Structure 1
Amino acid sequence: MDFKQPPVVRISRDTTGGAENGSAGAEPGSAYPFSIPAVAQLLAEGLTLDPGMTFLVGENGSGKSTILEGIALAFGFAPEGGSIHSQHSTWPSESDLYTRLYIQRGIGTKRWGFFLRSETTHSLYTYLEEVSPGTGLHQMSHGESYLELFSDYFSRPGFYCMDEPEAALSFGSTLRLLRILDQIRSAGGQALIATHSPILASLPGATVIEVGDWGMRQVQWRDLELVDHWCRYLQAPERYLRHLLD
């Protein structure tokens, strides 16, 4: 099925005051995570999300995972991941950014998707085993379990949020994920992915947003600092190592 609009059209600051979702606490800009430049920019300017794949790329602490998490929760995913129908939580650790966000959904799109959050996959697997015994995800290697999730849940149009999925994947498995993402896009689906992988971010036709002290900026893959560093390192590791190792 081809959607006339993607599942998510735009993310912006919720101007209703958050009464319906219980938003409370520090005003944006005064405390974490609102002091992060990229988060402040999201609230001030909003973010139009392109159809297909969008990658958030940046250093640790730049805010990419915080933004991804906030958007995922505002869309309706459970804090620790799963499909849109999963509602489980074992140890709340998320910020309240999601209570400040408004999601403009695409007209005529179905509310389906999956949130993959790397640091909470163990609790997600336990939940999935409880609701559907026999999944066997706990018995698989980290990478194998990820590929099993992709096969079972990433097969139809919807909105997919993925936080550093490459953490569990080999080079070959990362290429398999690229193919899955391309199939989702071809079917009319959409994904927002926080990543450190230059391989994932190289998906043709994807939107790449670099996140850093400047906030967020859309760039070409070849212009990413991440790509530049990896190319330089692989060409001559000693140029980096001599500054690290004595």
Structure 2
Amino acid sequence: MNKYIQSIRIDWEKLERDSYLKDISSLKTIECIHFNKNITFFAGENGTGKSTLLEAIGVAYGFNPEGGTLNYRFSTYDDVSELSNALTLSKGAKRSKYNYFFRAESFFNVATKAEDYRDNTPKEIFYQQYGGKSLHEQSHGESFIHFFQSFSKEGLYLMDEPEAALSPQRQLTLLMQIVNLAKQGAQFIIATHSPILLGIPDSEIMLFDNAGISLCDYEDTESYQVTELFINHRHEFLNRLLGE
């Protein structure tokens, strides 16, 4: 299948000598990353550089740092890393029909701008794509899933922790949508801790840790291992954790 982003290359010489980015263990030894599947996951502990790299890819591709389509241009807090300046993207020959960069931490701001950008479209028609009402009039989880369900076109989707507000059932709904869109030719690059999303078949998982970035199996992710241990050995796990 076509990949809209086939690979990325990092030129570390383009960064300042004392850049904090050079101290991120998972990133500092990486020069090139290839995307071999239509669904790629960034997995790893907090602070390992997943979101930093995803943001840099998004900005280098032309997205607004806080998210949205390629047409979104706004800023509520100027805190963009310089990594995007050091990235070179290798793009596929086919142009994507739709592009979206989703960030859980700035979803409220993007939802607000979506209403600002509706132009003269009547509210009742505009809201149909989001379950029939404003995203701000829905619960956090409802707004997330209705927002995701508005994605219906083949294209490039960058997603940073899309599971943040979703129940396990809603994560399964998102899983099915991701799989169906990928079958149509969409490409997803997703930073996540969700053991549900990470279980999508025929996806590629890139593990971020102190050794760098490497491909790993689903069962080797910490998200899976901790969840499996807790579910299957809950009493022993809690007794050891709580010192009882």
TM over 0.5: yes
Instruction: Pick one of 149, 152, 164 that aligns with 2:147.
Output: 149
TM-score normalised over the length of structure 2: 0.88
Does 1:175 pair with 2:175?
Answer: no
Is the aligned partner of 1:35 residue 2:23? yes
Please show how residues 1-246 of structure 1 align to structure 2 within 5 Å.
5-14=2-11, 26-27=16-17, 30-42=18-30, 44=31, 46-110=32-96, 112-132=98-118, 134=123, 135=127, 136-152=134-150, 154-245=151-242
Equivalent position amino acid for 2:19 in 1: A
- Paired with 1:108 and 1:237, the residues of 2 have a C-alpha distance of 48
Contact 1:5-1:109 within 8 A present in 2 as well: no
Q: Distance in 2 between matches of 1:77 and 1:149?
A: 18
CA distance, structure 2, for counterparts of residue 210 and residue 64 of structure 1: 9
Tell me how far apart the structure 2 counterparts of residues 240 and 176 of structure 1 sit (CA, whole Å): 30
Q: Distance in 2 between matches of 1:244 and 1:6?
A: 43
CA contact (8 A) 1:5 1:51 kept: no
2:217 partner letter: Q
Amino acid corresponding to residue 33 of structure 1 in structure 2: L
Equivalenced residues, count: 231
Tell me: CA distance 1:76–1:111, structure 2 relative to 1, closer, same or farther (3 Å): farther
The alpha carbon displacement at 1:14 in A equals 4.7
Give the Cα separation in 1 of the matches to 2:29 and 2:194. Answer: 24
Q: Per the alignment, in what secondary structure is the counterpart of residue 146 of structure 2? A: helix
Aligned to 1:22: none
Q: What is the CA–CA distance in structure 2 between the aligned matches of 1:63 and 1:100, rounded to whole Å?
A: 15
> Matched residues, percent identical?
33
The letter of the residue matching 2:51 is S
Q: Deviations over 1:130-159 (max 9, x none)?
A: 11273411111111111121122x211111
Deviation at 1:225, TM superposition (A): 2.6
Q: Distance in 2 between matches of 1:158 and 1:51?
A: 14
Cα distance, 1:33 vs structure 2:
2.1
Structure 1 segments unaligned to the other structure (5+ residues): 19-24
Q: CA–CA distance in 2 between the matches of 1:240 and 1:209?
A: 27
Q: Is there any run of 5+ residues in structure 2 with no aligned partner, and where? A: 128-133
Whether the 8 Å CA contact 1:84–1:111 is kept in 2: the answer is: no
Distance in 1 between the 2:152 and 2:37 partners?
17
**Quick check: 2:60–2:88 contact (8 Å CA) kept in 1?**
yes
